[in-house]
Amino acid sequence: GAGVSQSPSNKVTEKGKDVELRCDPISGHTALYWYRQSLGQGLEFLIYFQGNSAPDKSGLPSDRFSAERTGGSVSTLTIQRTQQEDSAVYLCASSPRQEMNTEAFFGQGTRLTVV
């Protein structure tokens, strides 16, 4: 696609429910990242994929958070038993190359609200 696509754009869920957030990276991009942006704060790194593997998942805040990537393309971030503090904008980004120092292109994010 022309850019990184995320769905849904907005999600309201009840506390305790599970949610899945989807990211379609730019076609051919091998690296994929998930970040979280809470109100009043910068972006917080969650997890990084190179192909289908996740060499860095150090930012996942708890074992309620998990992510997978299939076919080296689409990624899904799953949050189980959502809590109100999970409310944030979840941003996905992808990079075209394997080299370390390269920019990442971001999607518009999924705004998650846990009520």
Partner 1 sequence: GESVGLHLPTLSVQEGDNSIINCAYSNSASDYFIWYKQESGKGPQFIIDIRSNMDKRQGQRVTVLLNKTVKHLSLQIAATQPGDSAVYFCAEKETGRRALTFGSGTRLQVQP
Determine the interface stretch with partner 1 among 14-22, 65-73, 79-87, 93-101 (rule: CB under 8 A): 93-101
Q: How far apart are CA 88 and CA 110, in angstroms?
A: 8
Residue among 11, 13, 29, 59 that touches partner 1 (CB under 8 A): 59
50 contributes a contact to partner 1 by CB under 8 A: yes
* Residue 71, number of CB atoms within 10 A of its CB: 7
* Tokens matching residue 81: 């038993």
Q: Based on CB atoms, which residue is closest to partner 1, 59 or 74?
A: 59
Residue 97 CB, nearest approach to partner 1 (Å) = 11
Looking at the Cβ atoms of 77 and 89, the one nearer to partner 1 is 89
Using the rule CB under 8 A, is 33 a contact of partner 1? yes
- Residue 22, judged by CB atoms within 10 A of its CB (0-12, 13-18, 19+), counts as middle
Is residue 1 near partner 1 by the rule CB under 8 A?
no
Binding footprint of partner 1 on the chain (CB under 8 A): 4, 10, 31, 33, 35, 37, 39-45, 48, 50, 55-56, 58-59, 89, 91, 93, 95, 100-101, 103-109, 111
